[in-house]
Homo-oligomer: A and B are copies of this chain.
């Protein structure tokens, strides 16, 4: 028997620690699995070894495993086999074919936290290097759907929308969802929060209403008002993706087969019949060229076919922000302005109507080629606005909110054009960085207003952007950073000066 030393730290995994002497005596090595048996309870855990933290005769047990074992005083351990997944991950490394069962086993082990960081990273790295054949991607997608919660609607068709991302200010879901729902179609839109961006759709919607709901609640609200805009991370829909993101983020990679599967698994799990995929292409996006976009479109449509989901893809221009705002409150205000039929940016209106129009056509409520006009009618008539208010109310927000009610950070500063001329360079990523420095997305009121876009004419001293924040020191740091390296370049402008003046 080993005396338990409780390590009350949640580490997201069942883990135990043995003194290296005990481990050696048992022929165990770090990374092995052990079966831990206490009185009336047992669990399997990953083993680590130490020379100091636990003495011979002791075993350190972390929170997750302690719970399973009901906080025992002493335990027995036995070697346990490694999850079969590790063998299948090795096959993936060797670029061998995987069977449906093998893929399913890997996904189940990921969902159940049965893989160590090392094993998870090996899977992600091997997926990145070797693209899976399309048959395996289908199996992967199905496994991702089946290892989580699913929504089954009685009414059809169920519509959905996804954006590949990579373009800032992309608040189109705030217009598309109410337009589609107002047309009588169901659209249970789960979305993400920003990881490296200045605000995901979930961050935006949170300005207007709560966004954390269970799958059952999503179904209920969608059936009641036609649509939702919620945070997918609060559900257990396609949960493998959230675990994989950890390793993908750490390595800054987005394995292609895994991306296809993750997108379609989320759509399949909410029971979508038809999906439009927004594909921003252009410099600085995830799809630098139209050819990249076409390949992805073809693969997504093929994958959808095999899953029984109709997919249409729309390539959109991703070289500059959608609309003229970046940051949760600013973007929400801009979207509401358009829904209220007040003047607003054309890029946002056009893109939203085009994508919504495709969904109306796919959903059979508009004829082929007539979706845009139908969407426009729903927007102009105020039906889309009324529908968004219904959705806000159903999610527990204030249904009387108006664009002018949306509060923006009180600390704002304009960045002026240091020279006159045309805008000749426009750095999306810099704008996102500035919005984040100002506090977005956790400071909902922080962000960037864009006054001049690519190709526009600007006079010396005119504002290029305005940066806003709830905090004066965050605003200062963003402003200093903007001046040090301008996100928007006007021809003839001095780009840099040597020696650099770091404190302006």
A positions within 8 Å CB-CB of B: 7, 9-11, 17, 24-27, 29-31, 48, 50, 52-53, 60, 63, 86, 89-90, 93, 95, 116-122, 124-126, 128-130, 195-196, 246-247, 249-253, 436, 441-443
- A117 with B121: CB separation less than 8 A: yes
The 5 lowest CB-CB distance pairs between A and B, nearest first, are A31-B250, A121-B121, A117-B117, A125-B125, A118-B121
Report 17 cross-chain contacts, Cβ distance below 8 Å, ordered by A residue. Answer: A11-B48, A24-B442, A25-B442, A27-B436, A29-B196, A90-B253, A93-B125, A95-B129, A116-B250, A117-B117, A117-B121, A118-B120, A118-B246, A118-B247, A120-B121, A121-B121, A122-B124
Contact A9:B10 (CB < 8 A) given known A129-B129, A249-B29, A253-B90? no
Q: Which B residue's beta carbon lies closest to that of A62?
A: B9
CB-CB < 8 A to A250: which residues of B? 30-31, 86, 116, 118-119
Given contacts A29-B195, A122-B125, 10 further A-B contacts (CB under 8 A): A9-B17, A27-B442, A53-B63, A90-B253, A118-B118, A121-B125, A122-B122, A122-B247, A122-B251, A125-B125
Q: Which B residue's beta carbon lies closest to that of A193?
A: B24
CB-CB < 8 A to A443: which residues of B? 25
- B86 with A252: CB separation less than 8 A: yes
Q: Which B residue's beta carbon lies closest to that of A433?
A: B27
CB-CB < 8 A to A48: which residues of B? 11
Pick the contact of A251: B29, B119, B247 (CB < 8 A). B119
- A253 with B116: CB separation less than 8 A: no
CA distance in complex: A125, B247 (Å): 13
Pick the contact of A128: B25, B93, B119, B442 (CB < 8 A). B93
- B9 with A53: CB separation less than 8 A: yes
CB-CB < 8 A to A122: which residues of B? 121-122, 124-125, 247, 251
CB-CB < 8 A to A126: which residues of B? 125, 129
Q: Which of A116, A125, A246, A443 has the most CB of B within 10 A?
A: A125
- A89 with B251: CB separation less than 8 A: yes
Q: Which of A27, A50, A124, A247 has the most CB of B within 10 A?
A: A27
- B53 with A118: CB separation less than 8 A: no
CB-CB < 8 A to A95: which residues of B? 129
Pick the contact of A52: B10, B117, B436 (CB < 8 A). B10
CB-CB < 8 A to A17: which residues of B? 9
Q: Nearest chain B CB to A253's CB is how many angstroms away?
A: 7
Q: Which B residue's beta carbon lies closest to that of A89?
A: B251
CB-CB < 8 A to A195: which residues of B? 29
CB-CB < 8 A to A26: which residues of B? 442
Contact A90:B252 (CB < 8 A) given known A24-B442, A117-B117? yes
Pick the contact of A246: B11, B31, B125 (CB < 8 A). B31
CB-CB < 8 A to A52: which residues of B? 10
CB-CB < 8 A to A124: which residues of B? 122
CA distance in complex: A140, B31 (Å): 25
Q: Nearest chain B CB to A127's CB is how many angstroms away?
A: 10
CB-CB < 8 A to A196: which residues of B? 29
Q: Which of A17, A26, A95, A117 has the most CB of B within 10 A?
A: A117
CA distance in complex: A196, B27 (Å): 8
CA distance in complex: A436, B10 (Å): 34
Pick the contact of A119: B86, B121, B129, B442 (CB < 8 A). B121
CB-CB < 8 A to A441: which residues of B? 24
CB-CB < 8 A to A120: which residues of B? 118, 121
Pick the contact of A53: B10, B86, B119, B436 (CB < 8 A). B10
Q: Nearest chain B CB to A6's CB is how many angstroms away?
A: 11
Q: Nearest chain B CB to A98's CB is how many angstroms away?
A: 15
Contact A251:B118 (CB < 8 A) given known A31-B246, A93-B128? yes
Q: Which B residue's beta carbon lies closest to that of A8?
A: B53
Q: Nearest chain B CB to A335's CB is how many angstroms away?
A: 22
Contact A118:B119 (CB < 8 A) given known A27-B436, A93-B129, A251-B89? no
Contact A251:B90 (CB < 8 A) given known A29-B195, A53-B10, A60-B9? yes
CB-CB < 8 A to A125: which residues of B? 93, 121-122, 125-126, 129
CB-CB < 8 A to A93: which residues of B? 125, 128-129, 253
CB-CB < 8 A to A86: which residues of B? 250-252
Q: Which B residue's beta carbon lies closest to that of A53?
A: B10
CA distance in complex: A121, B86 (Å): 13
